[in-house]
Amino acid sequence: MTANISGRSVHLSFISYQSSIINHQLSVISYQLSVISKVMGGLGTGVWSSFLIPYPLLFPNPYS
């Protein structure tokens, strides 16, 4: 009986350990995704600003 209870508690502690590892990996992944989205957003705004600044010079507005 005691072996069954101790085995069950070991199993439960292993499950909680696995879930804590999974939660840690998920938080790391979400942090990496936020960093990647910030970098991509910065690159995107840089590309868009460098594209939008010469855009009126390259293509004059026909409606002006």
**pLDDT tens per residue, range 11-51:** 888 889 999 999 999 999 999 988 888 887 777 666 666 65
> Who wins on pLDDT, 34 or 58?
34
The predicted model scores a pTM of 0.47
Provide the CA 35 distance to its chain's centre, in angstroms.
7
**What phi, psi does 37 have (nearest 5°)?**
-65, -35
The domain ranges of the chain are: 2-56
4: tokens are 């069954």
What pLDDT does 48 receive? 60
In angstroms and rounded to an integer, the radius of gyration of the C-alpha atoms of the chain is 27
Q: Residue with structure tokens 């085995």? A: 7
Is pLDDT above 60 for 64? no
